[in-house]
Structure 1
Amino acid sequence: MKRLSLIFLVVFSMLLSACALNSSGDNESKDSGEKASTSAVKDAKGKSYKATDVSALPDKAKARKDTFIAGISAPGGVFLPYFYENGWDGNATTPIFAPLVDLDKDGKPVPILAESWETSKDQLTYTFHIRKNAKFSDGSPVTANDVAFTLKLLHDPAYNGYQDISLAAIKGGKEYKEGKAKTIEGIKAKDPQTIEITTDKVNAKALLILGGQVLSEKYYGKDYKYGKLDYLKDLYSKPLGAGPYVFSKYVPGQEIRYTANDKYYAGKPKTKNLIYKIIDKATSLQQFETGELDYAGFPADDDTVEQLKSLKFANIKVEPVNDYGLIYVNNTRPQFKDKEVRQALLYGLDRQKIVDVRFKGFGQVADIPVSPVSWAYNNQGVTEYKFDPKKAKKLLDKAGWKTGKSGIREKNGVQLKINYLTSDAEDAVIPIAKENYQDIGVKFEPDITDFNALVSKLTKKNYDFAAVSTSQILDPSDTVEELATKNPNNYMGYSNAKIDKLIQEGLGTLDITKRKEVYHELYKEFTQDPPYILIHYRQSARAISGQIEGLVPDNYTGIGSSLPNISIKK
């Protein structure tokens, strides 16, 4: 099963680390707060509250001298990068597997297993220099052959995981995948520490794709045969990587245990043991209060923040999250093909009220398809859709949808009805949309279903509206690629030639200044011809036990980049 490129329905997130190698920039933006609903969300940097009395720590927490415990939601037990389908397994693999390149807190690439890299003048060839002291946890060195093997696996015709390696356009990759070549022409191991990778086209995301987590050829490739990857399933629960921690034990429904890797290139992590404790929304705050967790993330609201502050032993960070919520609109449905109808449905929905009800001052109405903390965020000159029922009615009249005897608008004998898919029985959209849309002559019917059924209907385009949320955004292209007419993951059936062109232009240069200009133009076109209904940007409250030092969660790697530096105050 291919992982959905954008959809990651989350009502509750522990914010451990990036779930997958998708991408978007996460930088500060001077414009990020201009449309904020309250002062609580105007600062993209968020607010911090320091622990006032560390001695108030629960005894359970005080008793831990060499173990750090963080909350995680629902891992599935596939602890192998590129092969898991559950995003929480992505969190679980982060401590075990290190990439060549990662992102810093501002979304900029930084070297990890690669000591450095160069890009050719034509921006088509990447040369990575692997650290001489980079080793897997079994003591074997990380080499160019391991990188080559990893990329070869992703090109294997039997591979059907979430990573679309074709985006990197490695020279000869397509021929290898189709069985027309026995090697991938563009991958050359120059020496044990140097690998050169040549691509066929410039792609701004190529660096992170090529520089992803490295798999050991000695361990994962010993039984490799072209076109046959089932052998890897036996290794899903026995991971071996070059990250800061070594996998120790997985107890389904309870926890994942790790021990510090003394072979890690940057030195053995300061804290000997790491535990990801499996928790749920109902008990996570209580577990943090009682000292069962050293770190957890929560949906931000006044009650939660005040409760965390009252504990006195917690360091708290309240800040915007690098994602957004939206409602998919099925553009293949006859009633939604007309952009005037989609515009009317935006004007006719009180999104500010939805945000206020759902986030109580810790969210804002989303205006463009990227997070306000992204370096690409720029809402200047975009079309605004402030709640305006009169304008909505005029647009529907213009589009030929006239109010019938029942009070519901009709066109060619068909009523304007919306079936709304959601997996949240308490979805704040339901009562507000029902009332708003009834006022403009549109019938709104909620359809509460489970997650898997919702995804199934989306992939088959068997829906009208559907509530979704993006996964963590690493690159601004991630959230708009699915809008491309020919993208197989375009579950909205949207098509706009100008958007298609701008998507390619945004990926076709490594110059961030040019990319900013392209995405700004794209956002203006997006709001003029809206493919779906943007709803919210949100904030989270991240709580860290006062005795923990060196943990600095960010919007790109979560706590992943901090793991080697975490220590416990004596």
Structure 2
Amino acid sequence: MNKAFRLRAGTGGKGKGHRRTALLAALVCVFSVGEGVNTAQAAPKSLIYCTSTAPAGFDVALYSDLYTSEASGQMIYQRLVAFAPGGTKIVPSLAESWDISPDGRLYTFHLRRGVAFQTTPYFKPSRAMNADDVVFSLTRQMDKTGPWYIYEPGQSYQYFDSMNMPNIIKAVTKLDDYTVQIELNRPEAPFLADMAMDFASILSKEYADKLAASGKKGDLNMKPVGTGAFILTTNQKSVAVRYRANPDYWGNKPKLDNIVFAIIDDGSVRVQKLKAGECDLVRSPPLNEMGALRAAGTIKVLEQPGLNLSFFAWNMTRPPFDKVEVRRALNMAVDRKAIAAIIFYGEAEMAKNPLPPVGWGYNNAVPAPEYNPEKARKMLEQAGVKNLQFDISITPSGSLIANPKRLAEMLQSDFAKIGVKANVNMVEWTELLRLSRDKARNGLAMMGWAGDNGDPDNFLGMLFSCGAMDTVNNAFFCNADYDKLIMAARQNADIEARTQLYYQAQEILYREQPVLLMAYSPNTAALRRNIRGYHLDPVGLDFSTVDKD
């Protein structure tokens, strides 16, 4: 899920949620009354999903944040393969079946016939989805000389690049209209699971060709066309994103007619709206609200261990954070026990590895982070560090950290106890993303990651490999021994052998401490009791089976 990452944090000031009260009331009115004029027909079913952050765009391959993934990759697009509802088992999607060569380097996908691309006011497809669309969707991300490699200023294919796909995929070839072959340069154990991730979404080549011919390439990002169950109708930036059911959807027809993503950056306000019936669903409600939600008779709470990690990234390219003894000392100054109680309300497990324990590959033998302020002070003195000052960059709110300001203040206090001055730098989500990738950044950047496919590589490879330094490796950690382990694990299909390699990789991360680990947050959702068919999904958001009484 960077959706997050999937990168996860928060956006906007707390006051914005209050200013949207009138908007939500209007949405409820429109969907409950305005569309039900014809009493001879069943009233349209509409769902309001209250979320914290607006999508950055709708060409999901350009982004790594959770919110864009939910609003585009999960609503509008589909991939060759998919994850089974509620899990990470690979099942057919736009490909009905596939073959893998004995050496693991050749994947042949047999496409589903009769899959229609969405009809919108700006595009009417003349043909069904075929191999040309698959080839276009993948090769545009790897062909640096192609017309779609860079079509908007400053863009990059963040997941594709950070997962080292340009070096993994050798060629994507159309064998016939409904058969596509992907040749790899080497065996890649997680490849099939990778193809279920949002960056591998299948777009319409016919639509892209039309945009290129009319000089409107940018519309590919803001006026999407996919094969999914819902069609984007309007995007009122930072306020609401609206969808309608796709009447030409090839799968089981959605039970909902309309869906609204209402953008409310304050988690407490989202919960208030849910209790008042102005929201139907809230994902990852603030942990301090969980007790009250469990007790609310009109609310249903879903909970399970999550593939979620919150952390702060050091900038290892900037002294003195390039010294491991300095990072160790600063991390040692942090009182995680207090943070667990005050910030996470005892609802989350404090992290000792960057890989959550809910999946395979977790190294439980790695020691928990040590808390020893006096030892930390002496380590800084021995490293020759004096009068150290740096920033703790955060957003006003977040999905994995409900109160970033309070957390930053606690860190600030902990660092002060060892003679270090930390400044709290509160910025908007887009600015935090920029800062997190800026090698001139001084200090910590609040980050989070929601797993995309259940494979350890999605955490350990994505967040810490040398190849991801320009995308989601926000600590700028690059270690040759670590990369060798990650590469060996990717090329080995044996789970036990891969597990041992990942154990060793986690030991290196423990020694090097490129990040300040926070917590593994649970996967949670709160919804009105008249909502049926919604299930917690460890790697996505699926409304295609949801109904409303």
Separation of aligned partners in 2, 1:125 and 1:247: 35
User: What is the aligned partner in structure 1 of residue 505 from structure 2?
Assistant: 522
Separation of aligned partners in 2, 1:252 and 1:334: 39
Deviations 1:367-413, CA, capped at 9 Å, x for gaps: 0012232333232x21332312344345445x344xxxxxxxx5xxx
Separation of aligned partners in 2, 1:86 and 1:527: 26
3-state SS, counterpart of residue 405 of structure 2: coil
* Structure 1 residues 464 and 114, CA gap change in structure 2 (3 angstroms): same
Structure 1 position 294, deviation (Å): 1.6
Letter aligned with residue 177 of structure 2? P
Match of 1:500 among 454, 460, 483: 483
Match of 2:79 among 99, 109, 113: 99
1:375 aligns with 2:360: yes
* Structure 1 residues 83 and 521, CA gap change in structure 2 (3 angstroms): closer
Deviations 1:80-134, CA, capped at 9 Å, x for gaps: 3324687533322222211111223332322211112222111111111112243
1:421 aligns with 2:393: yes
Normalization by structure 2: what TM-score?
Answer: 0.79
Whether contact under 8 Å (1:154, 1:165) holds in the other structure is yes
Separation of aligned partners in 1, 2:160 and 2:64: 16
3-state SS, counterpart of residue 269 of structure 1: coil
1:270 aligns with 2:255: yes
* Structure 1 residues 79 and 419, CA gap change in structure 2 (3 angstroms): closer
* Structure 1 residues 439 and 305, CA gap change in structure 2 (3 angstroms): closer
Match of 2:496 among 513, 528, 543: 513
Normalization by structure 1: what TM-score?
Answer: 0.76
Deviations 1:35-69, CA, capped at 9 Å, x for gaps: xxxxxxxxxxxxxxxxxxxxxxx999987752222
Deviations 1:200-255, CA, capped at 9 Å, x for gaps: 12234433454521112222234548xxx963223444332211123333344443
User: What is the aligned partner in structure 2 of residue 215 from structure 1?
Assistant: 203
Letter aligned with residue 423 of structure 1? T
1:80 aligns with 2:68: no
Structure 1 position 565, deviation (Å): 1.4
Separation of aligned partners in 2, 1:74 and 1:435: 29
3-state SS, counterpart of residue 464 of structure 2: coil
Structure 1 position 502, deviation (Å): 1.4
1:190 aligns with 2:175: yes
Deviations 1:427-460, CA, capped at 9 Å, x for gaps: 2344433443343343434344444444444433
Structure 1 position 287, deviation (Å): 1.9
User: What is the aligned partner in structure 2 of residue 324 from structure 1?
Assistant: 309
* Structure 1 residues 421 and 567, CA gap change in structure 2 (3 angstroms): closer
Match of 2:94 among 113, 121, 127: 113
1:144 aligns with 2:131: yes
Separation of aligned partners in 2, 1:90 and 1:230: 26
Structure 1 position 317, deviation (Å): 1.3
* Structure 1 residues 146 and 509, CA gap change in structure 2 (3 angstroms): same
Letter aligned with residue 287 of structure 1? K
1:472 aligns with 2:450: yes
3-state SS, counterpart of residue 345 of structure 1: helix
Separation of aligned partners in 2, 1:4 and 1:271: 24
Structure 1 position 316, deviation (Å): 0.7
User: What is the aligned partner in structure 2 of residue 444 from structure 1?
Assistant: 422
Gaps of 5+ in 2: 13-27, 34-42, 120-124, 397-402
User: What is the aligned partner in structure 2 of residue 406 from structure 1?
Assistant: none
3-state SS, counterpart of residue 421 of structure 1: strand
User: What is the aligned partner in structure 1 of residue 370 from structure 2?
Assistant: 386
User: What is the aligned partner in structure 1 of residue 122 from structure 2?
Assistant: none
Structure 1 position 506, deviation (Å): 2.6
User: What is the aligned partner in structure 1 of residue 20 from structure 2?
Assistant: none
3-state SS, counterpart of residue 219 of structure 2: helix
User: What is the aligned partner in structure 1 of residue 140 from structure 2?
Assistant: 153
1:233-272 to 2 correspondences below 5 Å: 233-272=218-257
Separation of aligned partners in 1, 2:535 and 2:437: 37
Whether contact under 8 Å (1:315, 1:544) holds in the other structure is yes
1:299 aligns with 2:285: yes
* Structure 1 residues 237 and 453, CA gap change in structure 2 (3 angstroms): closer
Structure 1 position 468, deviation (Å): 1.7
User: What is the aligned partner in structure 1 of residue 25 from structure 2?
Assistant: none
Separation of aligned partners in 1, 2:533 and 2:429: 36
Separation of aligned partners in 2, 1:5 and 1:256: 19
Letter aligned with residue 206 of structure 1? F
User: What is the aligned partner in structure 1 of residue 7 from structure 2?
Assistant: 8
Deviations 1:169-217, CA, capped at 9 Å, x for gaps: 47886xxxxxxxxxxxx22222222111111122344334545211122
Deviations 1:300-334, CA, capped at 9 Å, x for gaps: 435x2243244312221134442212122222333
* Structure 1 residues 544 and 432, CA gap change in structure 2 (3 angstroms): closer
3-state SS, counterpart of residue 117 of structure 1: strand
Letter aligned with residue 422 of structure 1? I
- What count of residue pairs does the alignment treat as equivalent? 491
Whether contact under 8 Å (1:301, 1:360) holds in the other structure is yes
User: What is the aligned partner in structure 1 of residue 45 from structure 2?
Assistant: 66
3-state SS, counterpart of residue 500 of structure 2: helix
* Structure 1 residues 294 and 528, CA gap change in structure 2 (3 angstroms): same
Letter aligned with residue 295 of structure 1? L
* Structure 1 residues 431 and 505, CA gap change in structure 2 (3 angstroms): same
Structure 1 position 527, deviation (Å): 0.7
| Greater mean alpha carbon deviation, residues 476-485 or residues 267-276 | 476-485
3-state SS, counterpart of residue 141 of structure 2: helix
Separation of aligned partners in 2, 1:367 and 1:79: 35
RMSD: 3.3
1:338 aligns with 2:318: no
Letter aligned with residue 115 of structure 2? A
* Structure 1 residues 529 and 353, CA gap change in structure 2 (3 angstroms): same
* Structure 1 residues 252 and 457, CA gap change in structure 2 (3 angstroms): closer
Give the number of the structure whose residues are more often helix, by fraction. 2
Whether contact under 8 Å (1:59, 1:291) holds in the other structure is no
Gaps of 5+ in 1: 14-57, 174-185, 402-409
Match of 2:533 among 529, 547, 550: 550
* Structure 1 residues 469 and 492, CA gap change in structure 2 (3 angstroms): closer
* Structure 1 residues 441 and 197, CA gap change in structure 2 (3 angstroms): same
3-state SS, counterpart of residue 343 of structure 1: helix
Separation of aligned partners in 2, 1:432 and 1:248: 43
